[in-house]
Structure 1
Amino acid sequence: MHRIVVLALDGVYPFELAIPQRVFGSAGGRYEVVTCGVDGGPVRTTSDFALAVSHGPEALETADTVVIPPSAVTEAADIAPALARIRPGTRLVSICTGSFVLASSGLLDDRPATTHWIEADSFRRRFPRVRLDPNVLFVDDGDVLTSAGAASGLDVCLHIVREDHGSEVANQVARACVVPAWRDGGQAQYIERPVPEPSAESTAPARTWALAHLHLPLTLAELAERARMSGRTFARRFQREVGMSPGRWLIQQRVERARHLLESSDLSVDHIAREVGFATAASLRQHLHATLGVSPLAYRRTFRATASSSASTSAPSRASAPSRASASSGAR
């Protein structure tokens, strides 16, 4: 069984600390989740209570994945003996400002990462070698994943379940937790900005309509017309609300819909390409490879096999792929 160890540091935020147990614990026995501290003693929280943690830092030696929630600790030097127990090759995950611990240990140097947008400027000043993207909900760089503030811990944990066991299992976990399997938009939608004019309309209805009509050759002009805006106004407002252009957002939705169909149906690649709005199977192959680094058939073989194997005791090998940053939802 894939073992996930959550490292509870002094001054930990209780909500984020509980996310891994809630998400991975809802995955039908596919993961074992334990919580440890750096010395085996009680752990202070940001609330008016402390936690009695049953495991000490030796639990880190047994981890397949280590999750670091946000806390008052932001320097790896403060917990270096504990971190030294983590085996090479262990998957590392930070939630919110847990990324500061990873960055201060040098694990994020020259890698893409994210953190809570409020702390983005401070993070950049302290860790200039990290390729920070404060506009996304999480960044998957293979063996190291970082996520944004608070509830984005749900997003990255669900993403891990999806990568390990496919979207059907991830969707079941999301339903059990009563949260969206994917969220629409990145951190950009939560960053404080000047309040727009009172008459401003949202692009959300146009996005909802687009998700129901992905098979159509949607254009910016058509979406703008749905929102009753000019093309320029729609594109500007869309970027502000979602954190990316309409064209990029449409491609992401189509890729995510294609992933779902590849995992859950026997439809041909040509049929799936038409169903999700790519003009040809070649176009689907191009976009899937650009996003995940694999072909549609290779992706299907990996995740259909994963979904059908009830005897799996650990996370399957993940296809080699370029770094991925999630800034939008998928229609899954």
Structure 2
Amino acid sequence: MSRRLPPLSVLLAIGLVLLLLLWLALGDQERFRETAPPAEEAEAVAPPRVEVVERRAEEHSPRLVVQGQLEAHRELELRARQAGRVAALPVALGSQVERGEVLLEVAGDELPERLEQAEAELALARAELAGAEDLRRRELISNIDYLRLQSGAARAVAEVAALRRQLDETRPVAPFDGVLDRLDVEPGDLLQVGESWGRLVDDTRLIASGWVPQRQAPGLAPGLATEVRLLDGSHLPGELTHVASRADESTRSFRIEVATDNPERRRLAGASASLIVTLPERRVHRLSPALLELDEQGRLAVKHLDDDDRVRRDRVELVDADTREARVAGLPERVRLITLGGGFVAPGDRVTPAPAETMPEAESPLAPPEPR
């Protein structure tokens, strides 16, 4: 009895399985070979392609914007030096006054009469002293009596000076040109010594003050050009006059002051404003904010190419930025920035650079936004 052969389909299936096992065995030997592939084979793989644009460093004057408020250049709280009733108000509220102009009159009560009496006593003391000097030359008066008369004359001089000062204090005058910004009394009111009755403001010059973070304070110095931007959009030119030497303990920020002229006497004292300080010039590169990235330490960095077309990633300092571009420091004077493909390469990789100018302008990361 003859043996029957398996069907042809079974034989074909067995043959295909044997061929597949043989192919897998030979493939593993080729993939896990111990020696590196020949140089010609490695060079057959082309380096990745990136778009680059060449940039040169340029001078840039960064600006620091600080929110602050305006104050009058000089402001004086007016207080009574002599007690008494208000006799007259020579100057109306809001009036402009000149230095030396009388602002208030307080009833001096008996001061004028006391001054007149003191002046008469001074005249008598001086006459007695003059007569004593004549007697002294003739040795008709003792030295003690002469010194007693001399002391009395000096005491009379001091009394007259004190009464004149008190009488002047009943008619206080403006110590500088300004505006009577506040007046809290009326004729007949009773004033006590030290009581506030008004305020004098010199607003021909303004002081704008604000606070800057401690990171930005070292770059500031008196004399820097500054603009004061008001709420209505207008600007006043000014100059940085003061930078605090010590930070505020609670905010760790430094106070700055900017002086600006106010020739038109606009009512700006006490209003809020923006201080725009122009910092010293620096060499920076302009680039798209999209090209900025963070390195392993979380610091800003930018990828670019060296002379051998290898990728470098250098840390940069953000000097200034707006919605369209950023200005950074820390890159070589002349640099080729990677504008497209930087996310697929790492520092040290060799790449094939292509000028970014070959890209359509709308696709370039440095292209300005289209108008809406």
TM-score by length of 2: 0.18
Greater radius of gyration (CA) = 2
Tell which has more relative contact order, 1 or 2 (C-alpha 8 A, sep 6+): 2
- Structure having the higher strand fraction is 2
Flag the structure with higher helix content: 1
